[in-house]
Structure 1
Amino acid sequence: MKIDNPELHEFIARYLDLCKPSKVYVCDDSLKDEEYIRRKAIEYGEEHPLRTPGHTVHFDGYFDQARDRKNTKILVPPGVKIPYINTMPREEGLREIHEIMDGIMQGKEVFICFFILGPKKSPFTIPAVQITDSAYVAHSEFILYRKGYEEFVRLGKDARFLKFVHSAGELDDRKTSKNIEKRRIYIDLESETVYSVNTQYGGNSMGLKKLAFRLTIKRAVREGWLSEHMFLMRVNGPNNRKTYFTGAFPSMCGKTSTCTLPHENIVGDDLAFIKEINGEARAVNVE
């Protein structure tokens, strides 16, 4: 890799050593990355081609079709409690998740993917690295997020990046996660790392989605900006006036469906970063 960041190299090496994959593929922002991962998702049976060229379908396991509230935990220092949130002592959680992850990728290919939250080369940019043995998860993130390898190269040692380690674990004959009783999603705020194992459902496995949201909320509170579950859109007014605003609307009300329609002005349908830039509130679509 061209990326000059010892912390990144140490992180990747640690989890390759722990999870023990048989093959490693490193993405570098080239078009061949997406083509390769799409092909592997079909080859490994996680996705199936449809009659429409370029379209595939993925089926989650019967017992893996929602966020796992019971086994999703925030790892906290000893004695710390956060009201209304499922927490676990940090050292205990890391010990358990590392035991489950030991050798979990044996016989599988792992994909190391680099993305960014927010636009590149901006005050909003947050780099992120995803390690996953699921071509389906990697494929989904390529659709949803901006590529970030070159941004890691540009930032070098200055990159303050989020980290995600995911394994679908052992798969059944339908190529879905088998050991659901060992499904764990642990969020370590201290190291800005999320661990997700024995699951393929997007809300549990795609690190840059709602799992990253938990990390960016913490960072935003610490640094004095906002990471919000809000859409971002433009309203056109008289005399060619353009006004942008954010809004917190509930799930299933049509934000995503509406933003896909031609001529609509929804810039972002899910998450927004809001910062003070030159005395004004400015917002970007995270995805």
Structure 2
Amino acid sequence: VSHRNARFTISLENFSNLDQTLHDPKGVMVGGMVYGGRDSDTWVPIEESFDWTHGIITKGASLESETTAATLGKEGVRKFNLMSNLDFLSIPIGKYIQANLDFAKGLKKTPLIFSVNYFLKGKDGNFLNDKTDKKVWYKWAELRVHNDVRAINTPTGRIPKYEDLKRLFKEVLNKDYTIDDYNKQFMIRIPENLAKIERIKEIYQTQVADTPKILSEVLEKQRQRLIETQKKHGDYITPDKLA
């Protein structure tokens, strides 16, 4: 019997959509970067950041993940784990974040940054996504990289439009995608997002002495956007209110 967190690996050459320039010494053009954690109640399934700095700070440096069968102790405990990389850092956290912020300086084309969340749950405690839905989220991200679809601006980033996901679910998975599913998955959860910001700010203020100043500035701007939107539309906002 396999462990609940069992993994397997596969050679890249087995993928039919492998980039033909994989082994080109000049490298492969990177169009997007993705950060994701196990989050049952806050992040939507996929969201694009407003820009590189916003993405590094609110997606990568603010990443939390709930414990799984792969970790010791109780499952479902929310833990801070910036960029899903905390256990592997060999330099101070603040210096690491600053290096990521500086990475995009001088680039001719800055990659887009996305957050993903495959573990969002509904009020009944059941997952709102199937395991295969991630194929659609990544296809949408690819379309955004090439500017082939538009998006809806929210206080926390850019999310897909329903008509685009409806088409992609049919094309990619041959599944019908309802407006009800869309609203449940991409509802902006203001209280949960505000609580997350407070948790992240507390961590950096009390545990990371070399936190870049811009981190608190970006988080505060996001907090203000959330509060302003909350005043207009309430605590839980379906995408049509923001389109």
Task: Report the TM-score when normalising by structure 2.
Answer: 0.28
Bigger Rg over Cα: 1
Q: Which has the higher helix share?
A: 2
Q: Which has the higher strand share?
A: 1
Task: Report the TM-score when normalising by structure 1.
Answer: 0.25
